[in-house]
Chain A
Amino acid sequence: MNGYAGQILRIDLSARRSEKSPLPDELVRDYIGGRGFAAKLLWDEVPKGAAPFSEANRVIIASGPFSGLFLPASGKITFASKSPATGGYGDSNMGGHLAAELKYAGYDAVIIGGRASAPLVIVIDDDRIEFRDAGKYWGKGALISEKMLKEDLGEDFQIATIGPAGEKLVKFACVSHDFGRQAGRTGIGAVLGWKNVKAIAVRGSKTIPVYDQEKAYAKGRQMYEVCFSKPGFKEWTPEGTAGVTDWVNEVGAFPTRNFSTTYFEGHQDINGSALRTRIKVTDKGCFGCPIPCGKYSRVKFGGKETYVEGPEYETIALLGGDCALTSIEDVAYANYVCDELGLDTISGGNVCAFAIECYEKGILTKERVGRELKWGDLESVSYLLNQIANREGIGDLLAEGVRTASAELGGGSERFAIQVKGLEWSGYEARWAPSMMLSYMTCDVGAHHNRSWAITHDVATGRDSLTGKADKVIELQHTRPLFDALGVCRLQWVEIGFELQHYEQMFPLVTGMPYDWKQLLKVSERIWNLTRAFSLREVPGFGRQLDYPPARFMEEPVPSGPAQGKLLTRDKIDALLDDYYKKRGWNADGVPTREKLHELGLDFVAEELATCGRL
């Protein structure tokens, strides 16, 4: 099967058994790979009503047809599961080298089900599958565990681990890999933790076949040459994603003090320039990537040298601005704490900021927390992160995420629990950016920016206007996740203007499938509707009512900075949603219509939703 390894690996943890089966043609034809495989496999395999922490829930790991091949940034893999944070569809994708290695081992996807009776490591070594006792690693940090596993198994293994946070079922525990890459969002680390999977170690030696080797090799060379010729190739790499920090402040979209305002006066001490000049050691990249975005850094704390990959922009936004940390060194250290504990830095920063605001308002007391909490205080943040990962004291509640924590704490804190659907909001404040607001509201997994990064569209076409915003969001929600289905990174396109046509031209050379970009976007639309349907099936009340932003964004004007006075009132939010649903072919409650599902070949979804009374 050209472009694919041609096999699915199924792991039954309860029986400690594995099974290999051929990759089905229909899965490839209709869902392409990566996120597409994940969405379809979760729909098929997870029974309605299964709890996230259950044997019936699945963790799907899937690469795409471009993964592991000679073309720019072919290193992306998707992790997916029923999310413990939202109860609905959750996925997160990860760079590094795991995608490629899994394909060389001979697998396009791994389906993990059941629950192991004791912590184990799943070892995938070409055809050999082993379940190894994880006793010596359990309880250890995600980074340390990877180091130990590389020493024990071999440096040529690619390894994904969970940290203590995943073991303790923290709702925003992540999956870690390659000393600094994560599948960060939606709490997949906790699902693996519940299933007693400490790590997955992969080594592969096989060749990946392509449809036209000569033409694909030539096209690959050309793709790299085009990347090399882009001005951003030299310009963007030194600071990577952190380079956008100043700009986001300049346009008043920077999360500051739990999104209470949108400009951080200390941003120049935590920006890309600070990172590059003060702490960066190496530009570290993923498989096949010409513009390594990883900024591997070194900071000294308490006389000890600490290494961390980062901080990247999101971490600068959520651990930096949102907690008001005042130096890049502090942000890097907080980043390291998250990485070792196995916590998503986005949710981690958001949750800490929420706790600090609760403390400021007297909703949390020194007695309950165990110490005082302050803005701009690394010790406050570090203390909270450790409490959370260990589920100690207030950490046990905060580990549930801000939606649950605010429901328990009350005192009006629900209004500033900055989340949608139970997933904490990421690094772009949007009271003066309607497209971005809509992006966060309608992202399938909850408040995440990766599906649709639309803020420049707002700046370019008018930040106060609502016209055309839904169209742009929908366009991006099909284009960006397509990369997650293909198994490649989109930053070449996003950051250095590498043209989409190159991926379109490469697709038939690799797979032999005659899909043009328009047809691939249709697959992406199919996947979009399928993940929406999964959550509609699984989450009570899912639909329009869970597409709203937090009250802060609809009721509190931005108090300071470039976006001062801005907010998006409920009527405007409703107008955006109405336009969005209409353009998507969904009803006013945000449910795909029968016609739309039929158009996308999702009649089986329509049947199921009708059975559940959602259609």
Chain B
Amino acid sequence: MKLATRDELCSGCRVCQMVCANENFGENNPKKGVVRIVAHFPDPGRYSVKVCDECGTCQSVCPVGAISKNDRGALVVDETTCIGCLTCVEACPHGVMMTHPSRIAPFKCTLCGRCVEYCPRGAIYDADAKRA
């Protein structure tokens, strides 16, 4: 799976953030979702959607090797190894290494695919899928 976006379709509804947090944290809290939605209003009146493309920058800057692949092939942060330096957060080119006041370790996309499934607009899709 490789996440990609069609920003012009985004309506700003944040279903992606909600389903992400429910799936990965078992919580109703879109602030724990890892899709970043940027609103550009009033001008030009659109949204941008930032998703993880598994570029590996976070892994390469982590000073303690806390970031490695899960069994879906997504880089994830090992909470026990992470020291909370937030270097990965600063380094992430899309701003999708997330932090939350309730946690020390940042968190990121696990390639669960729920955002692709539940985005009502088709604004997030799997670029690897045969049919988008």
Interface residues of A (CB under 8 A from B): 68-70, 97, 100, 104, 126, 143, 147, 155, 178-180, 204-210, 213-214, 217, 220-221, 224, 227-228, 233, 281-292, 294, 296-298, 305, 307-308
Contacts and interface: CB of A to CB of B under 8 A. Distances in A.
A307 B13 contact: no
Given A155-B39, A233-B120, A307-B45, 10 more contacts: A70-B22, A70-B28, A155-B38, A209-B28, A210-B28, A285-B13, A287-B13, A296-B45, A298-B45, A307-B44
Contacts of B102: 205
A214 B18 CA distance: 14
B113 interface: no
A287 B18 CA distance: 10
Give the bracket for the number of chain B residues in contact with chain A: 20 to 34
B100 A288 contact: no
A69 B111 CA distance: 22
8 contacts: A155-B39, A179-B41, A228-B120, A282-B46, A283-B9, A288-B14, A296-B41, A308-B42
Given A208-B28, A290-B120, A283 B15 contact: no
Contact of A205 (B28, B47, B101): B101
Nearest to A217: B22
Contact of A206 (B29, B42, B45): B29
A134 to B, nearest CB: 20
Contacts of B44: 281, 298, 307
B31 interface: yes
Contact of B45 (A210, A220, A227, A282): A282
A69 B46 CA distance: 24
A307 B11 contact: no
B100 A281 contact: no
Contact of A305 (B15, B29, B43): B43
Interface in B16-63: 18-19, 22-23, 26-32, 38-39, 41-47
A207 B29 contact: yes
A143 B42 contact: yes
Given A143-B42, A155-B39, A69 B11 contact: no
A349 to B, nearest CB: 21
Nearest to A126: B101
B12 A100 contact: no
Contacts of B79: none
Contacts of A297: 45
A235 B102 CA distance: 42
Contact of B28 (A126, A207, A289, A294): A207
Contact of B42 (A289, A292, A307): A307
A143 B47 CA distance: 17
A209 B13 CA distance: 21
Contacts of B90: none
A289 B11 contact: yes
A290 B27 CA distance: 20
B13 A286 contact: yes
The 6 lowest CB-CB distance pairs between A and B, nearest first, are A290-B120, A285-B11, A292-B11, A307-B42, A207-B29, A179-B41
Nearest to B43: A307
A292 B13 contact: yes
Given A179-B41, A205-B100, A205-B102, A284 B11 contact: yes
Interface string B78-109: 00000000000000000000001110000000
A290 B28 contact: no
Nearest to A220: B22
B115 to A, nearest CB: 12
Contacts of A208: 28-29
A292 B46 CA distance: 13
Nearest to A340: B42
Contacts of A205: 29, 31, 100-102
Contacts of A290: 13, 15, 120
Contacts of B26: 213-214, 217
Contacts of A143: 42
A282 B47 contact: yes
Nearest to A147: B42
Contacts of B22: 70, 213, 217, 220
Contacts of A284: 11-12, 45
B13 A289 contact: yes
B113 to A, nearest CB: 13
Interface centre among A179, A204, A209, A288 (most CB of B within 10 A): A288
Contacts of B11: 282-285, 289, 292, 294
A288 B18 contact: yes
A106 to B, nearest CB: 12
A159 to B, nearest CB: 12
A287 B47 CA distance: 14
Interface string B114-132: 0000101100000000000
Contacts of A227: 120
Contacts of A155: 38-39
Contacts of A126: 101
Contacts of B8: 282
Nearest to A228: B120
A510 to B, nearest CB: 9
A179 B42 contact: yes
Best-buried of A70, A213, A283, A292 by chain B (most CB within 10 Å): A70
A284 B11 CA distance: 4
Contacts of A70: 15, 18-19, 22, 28
A558 to B, nearest CB: 39
A214 B38 CA distance: 30
B95 to A, nearest CB: 11
Contact of B30 (A100, A233, A294): A100
B10 to A, nearest CB: 8
A143 B100 CA distance: 29
Contacts of A210: 28
A292 B14 CA distance: 12
Nearest to A203: B31
B28 A69 contact: yes
Contacts of B15: 70, 224, 288, 290
B71 to A, nearest CB: 22
A228 B121 CA distance: 10
A217 B28 CA distance: 9
A303 B101 CA distance: 46
